Amino acid sequence: KASRKFHPDSTVVRVGDAEIGKEKTFTVIAGPCSVESEEQIIEVAESVKESGAKLLRGGAFKPRTSPYSFQGLELEGIALLKEAKEKTGLPIVTEIMSPAMVETFEESVDIIQVGARNMQNFDLLKELGKSSKPILLKRGLSSTIEEWLMSAEYILAGGNSNVILCERGIRTFETYTRNTLDLSAIPAVKRLSHLPVIVDPSHSAGMSWMVEPLSLAAMAVGADGLIVEVHNCPEKALCDGAQSLNPGQFKNLMQKLKGIGSNL
Ligand code: PEP
Ligand code: MN
């Protein structure tokens, strides 16, 4: 079902006034790694909207490597995202970690994100196949394109045809960047599948100064958009501050992207 062979027309996922996957359209999702407070999420939501982001991201349930790191505000985080949506009109994207949470997410969230660490959580994928919400499926830390598309297939096989793929960098021998952004995956996936594919330059780079060049590259290779981490005060972020743009840097990035002439 994910294959272009049997579905030549590109899938367009519509959320709010975003049309992800539409030809000549580039959709930017932006927001903090994690929702931290009411003030933080509202401030970031208002600023990214002003700069042209179409959706707001923010983690409430965080898959942290260490159990001692900030794990997210959980349900309170979802409530704060809803508040930010009410204030700005931006639809919200947040990560799910457990099949038990599908019902809650179904009620509250506009796009349900499956993180890299859960790309092969097949019970979760099967449950999301029954959902009516679009799913943002990140590529696993060390997954091949074939494995990634098979995970999308699980969701499609369950009856949910609104899947957006997200290349977020993979683990290679290189340690300079947090992950290695596999730019070649974009044209490969576009050829193999009809599903939209976006790029996460933030988790690929791991450092904020590299987010802009990777974003421009993503647009050049034909990605359908970006998901970018933006924090009102990156130095104080509880998670992923080093790779987060501040609102001014995000505004500059959006102006550069618009300058290339795509329909943002
Ligand atoms: C995130 O988007 O904050 C995140 C945890 O991403 P990934 O699953 O790609 O590591
Ligand atoms: Mn993050």
Looking from the CA of residue 166, the nearest atom of ligand 1 is 9
Question: Which is more confident, 7 or 262?
Answer: 7
What is the longest distance spanned by two Cα atoms in the chain? 48
pLDDT at 18: 97
Mean pLDDT of 72-90: 98
pLDDT at 264: 83
pLDDT cut 90: percent of the chain above it? 98
Ligand 1 in reach of 203 Cβ (< 6 A): yes
CATH topology of domain 13-259: TIM Barrel (3.20.20)
pLDDT band at 244 (very low <50, low <70, confident <90, very high): very high
Looking from the CA of residue 115, the nearest atom of ligand 1 is 8
* Cα–ligand 1 centroid distance for 70 (angstroms): 14
Residue 216 CB burial class (10 angstroms; 0-12, 13-18, ≥19): middle
Tell me how far apart the terminal alpha carbons of the chain are, to the nearest angstrom: 29
* Cα–ligand 2 centroid distance for 69 (angstroms): 13
Q: Whose CA is nearest to atom 6 of ligand 1?
A: 115
pLDDT at 263: 76
If residue 254 lies in a helix (H) or strand (E), which one and from where to where? Answer: helix 247-259
pLDDT band at 116 (very low <50, low <70, confident <90, very high): very high
Ligand 1 in reach of 33 Cβ (< 6 A): yes
pLDDT at 22: 97
What residues have CB less than 8 Å from 259, skipping those under 6 apart?
none
Model-wide pTM > 0.90 = yes
pLDDT at 127: 98
pLDDT at 133: 98
pLDDT at 262: 67
Mean pLDDT of 90-96: 98
Looking from the CA of residue 59, the nearest atom of ligand 1 is 3
| β pairing state of 225-229 and 18-20 | unpaired
pLDDT at 234: 98
Mean pLDDT of 125-134: 98
User: Domain map of the chain by residue range?
Assistant: 13-259
Looking from the CA of residue 227, the nearest atom of ligand 1 is 2
pLDDT in tens, 169-191: 999 999 999 999 999 999 999 99
Q: Whose CA is nearest to atom 8 of ligand 1?
A: 115
The closest ligand to the CA of 65 turns out to be: 1
This model of the complex carries an ipTM of 0.99
List helix spans (H) across 130-242.
Answer: 145-157, 185-192, 201-205, 211-220
pLDDT at 187: 98
* Cα–ligand 2 centroid distance for 160 (angstroms): 26
pLDDT at 138 over 70: yes
* Cα–ligand 2 centroid distance for 6 (angstroms): 35
